[in-house]
Amino acid sequence: MSTFGKLPAPSDAQAPPDTRAFVIDPASPILLFDSGVGGLSVLAEVRKALPDAPIIYAADNAGLPYGTKTEAQVAARVAGLLGRMTERFRPRLVCIACNTASTIALGMVREVLEVPIVGTVPAIKPAAAMTKTGTIGLLGTEATIRQGYVDRLEGEFAGGKRLLRAAAPELVEAAEARLRGKPVSTDVLARGADRLRALPGGDAIDTVVLACTHFPLLEAELAEAFGPDVAFVHGAPGIARRIAFLTQGQSFVRAEPDSALFTGDDQDVAALGPALSDHGLTRIHFL
Ligand code: DGL
């Protein structure tokens, strides 16, 4: 049975039926989407919450990095690619496992696609609950830190706190390299930390929002760079809970091995094999 097709309107029946369990094809995957390997930090949490869920992990490696692109470029890529991917793979749910894409294009993509879409937005709310000094750091891409979406989260959840933002594009490259088994220099990690600390009031930061899904892949190294008095927070556990909630009652059957899908057939993709299979993605294919 098809995954899609609208659920009957509640008025079609006496009581709104819980149709989720029988209209969704059990083999229909959850599709996670990022510009690169960052979304694997989200996938790791989704696996813990839903170990039986069939997964397609999609990386727009031909468009990486998103963080240096304009809003129009990111929105066009994300909407176009997700349109193609949802048509081809018929996912039951899409997770945009990328802060840059979500803060720019989540609303727009939700308007044009019928599939439920879960986004990834900076974890400012939990950070505001954690900070003792009242000063929160936020590390993201250049594009994410300038978004009105982040201003709105700050206004809504971090009233009375200070939120200092810095871009750390080199950490995206570092995470991509690390998952390809290449060494990552400690200088690169220190630069991200220093940029945030160098902002006025930056030495009071005790909580850092990792507002790019690539960054939790370097959390151990970032902890060294920031020192023991700084805690990190990111959105992946909350996203996994949200996906589990939205798919509750649905059955899952893994009819084929979980796979990683890439938009560009660059030679580097092969080097990701071990990291992908560590995340349960045992097949690689190209769009
Ligand atoms: N992983 C993406 C994010 O969460 C960004 C990486 C990029 O610049 O493409 O923002």
- Is the pLDDT at 128 greater than 90? The verdict is yes
Cβ contacts of 139 within 8 Å, gap of 6 or more: 166, 167, 168, 171, 192, 196, 208, 209, 210, 211, 212, 215
237 contacts 210 by C-beta, under 8 angstroms: no
Q: State the average pLDDT over residues 24-29.
A: 95
- Give the up-direction half-sphere exposure of residue 284: CA atoms within 13 A in the CB hemisphere: 19
Nearest to 139 by CA among 222, 64, 75: 222
pTM of the model: 0.90
| Residue 279: CB atoms within 10 Å | 21
State how beta strands 162-167 and 117-118 pair: unpaired
Q: What is the mean pLDDT of the chain?
A: 91
224 contacts 155 by C-beta, under 8 angstroms: no
Active site residues: 98, 212
Domain 124-234 in the same topology as domain 3-120+237-286: yes
- Is the pLDDT at 116 greater than 80? The verdict is yes
Identify the helix (H) or strand (E) that includes residue 259: strand 259-262
Q: Which of these ranges, 5-9, 15-19, 79-83, 262-266, has the smallest mean pLDDT?
A: 5-9
Q: How confident is the model at residue 265 (pLDDT cuts 50, 70, 90)?
A: confident
What top-level class would CATH report for the domain 124-234? alpha beta
Question: From the CA of 229, how far away is ligand 1's center (Å)?
Answer: 26
14 contacts 73 by C-beta, under 8 angstroms: no
Is it true that domain 3-120+237-286 has CATH number 3.40.50.1860? yes
Nearest to 239 by CA among 95, 142, 80: 95
| Residue 140: CB atoms within 10 Å | 28
**pLDDT per residue as tens digits for the range 152-211:** 999 999 999 999 999 999 999 999 999 999 999 889 999 989 999 999 999 999 999 999
Q: How confident is the model at residue 110 (pLDDT cuts 50, 70, 90)?
A: very high
Atom of ligand 1 nearest to the CA of 98: 4
Question: From the CA of 99, how far away is ligand 1's center (Å)?
Answer: 6
Q: For ligand 1, say whether the CB of 28 is within 6 Å of any of its atoms.
A: no
Shortest-distance Cα residue to atom 2 of ligand 1: 98
- Domain ranges in the chain are 3-120+237-286, 124-234
- Is the pLDDT at 271 greater than 50? The verdict is yes
